[in-house]
Amino acid sequence: MEPILTFEQVTKHYPNGVHALQGISLSIQPGEFISVIGPSGSGKSTLLRAINQLIPISSGRVLLDGADVSAQKGRALRSTRCKVGMIFQNYNLVYRLSVLQNALHGRLGHMRGAAGIFGLYTEADKARAIALLEELGLGSFCYNRAGDLSGGQKQRVGIARAIMQDPKLLLCDEPIASLDPSSAKTIMDILRGMTKQRGIACVVNLHQVDVAIKYSTRIIGLSKGSIVFDGAPEALTDEVIERIYNTSRENLMMGGKADEEAYSANFAV
């Protein structure tokens, strides 16, 4: 099968001298559910944003659906971004707008001219957004301000926005890092279910190794900007985890760095 996404020797240097990505090559097939794990600063976030060029790469090529994304600009880049949904750790909603409006933002990339600027969505899109929000259990919140929702609900709106794009690929940047365990489970279940049902490939950045093992079909381990592991969850042995995080598995489970960050993120909100 034709891969949906291919990285060819992608590197990224920031102006401050940090080498976030060093010669990354990988390819992703439709329908895969991939978790990217690695310690903070290992380049997970940069990797994800390199796919839709929110962060321009320094060298190499990113091929999405056969087209070279890294060379694209303006309208071509925008229509590529249409095909890629994205979910963020901080939800990144427009909190003053309604839940429905936020979900409909997913259609903006498909709209041109005045209709796009003034938000004149088609009736079909609106009906679909309402149906989708109902499916996500937010039917009764359609007309609430997005800012009034709880964290888990906000993230579900974020998922609705991404799904409304009709994406071929879904990128999730630490989608559950700011959530409590029960909301986190709901979100992961929704992500797994929705992508499977619609045949969308999904790349998720995760801090929690156990969650990655439970949900993914494939895991990529990142350390210092390079891929140190790429394979099925079953192949992720303790030694491999040690190599990724430079620490033993027990340390990770008993309040290692990852847990600490999730903890502080939870309480900072």
Which of 78, 198, 214, 243 contacts other proteins by CB under 8 A?
A: 78
Contact between 179 and 151 (Cβ < 8 Å): yes
Pick the piece of the chain touching other proteins (CB under 8 A) from 98-106, 210-218, 227-235, 238-246: 98-106
Which of 63, 108, 213, 228 contacts other proteins by CB under 8 A?
A: 108
Residues numbered 8 to 47 that lie near other proteins (CB under 8 A) are none
Rg, C-alpha atoms of the chain = 18
Shortest approach of other proteins to residue 253 CB, angstroms?
Answer: 31
β-sheet bridge partners, residue 12:
21
Total interface residues for other proteins by CB under 8 A: 54
69 binding other proteins? (CB under 8 A) = no
88 binding other proteins? (CB under 8 A) = yes
DSSP 172-224: EESTTTTS-HHHHHHHHHHHHHHHHHHT-EEEEEES-HHHHHHH-SEEEEEET
Contact between 12 and 46 (Cβ < 8 Å): yes
Contact between 19 and 57 (Cβ < 8 Å): no
130 binding other proteins? (CB under 8 A) = yes
Which of 24, 84, 160, 177 contacts other proteins by CB under 8 A?
A: 84
Which of 37, 93, 176, 211 contacts other proteins by CB under 8 A?
A: 93
67 binding other proteins? (CB under 8 A) = no
98 binding other proteins? (CB under 8 A) = yes
E strands of the chain, at which residues?
Answer: 5-13, 19-28, 33-37, 59-64, 67-68, 84-87, 169-173, 201-206, 218-223, 226-231
Tokens 């430079």 -> residue = 246
| Closer Cβ to other proteins, 22 or 98, answer by number | 98
Cα 239 from Cα 246, distance rounded (Å): 10
90 binding other proteins? (CB under 8 A) = yes
Shortest approach of other proteins to residue 144 CB, angstroms?
Answer: 6
β-sheet bridge partners, residue 37:
206, 221
92 binding other proteins? (CB under 8 A) = yes
| Closer Cβ to other proteins, 6 or 52, answer by number | 52
183 binding other proteins? (CB under 8 A) = no
Phi then psi dihedrals of residue 118, to 5 deg: -90, 0
82 binding other proteins? (CB under 8 A) = yes
| Closer Cβ to other proteins, 133 or 212, answer by number | 133
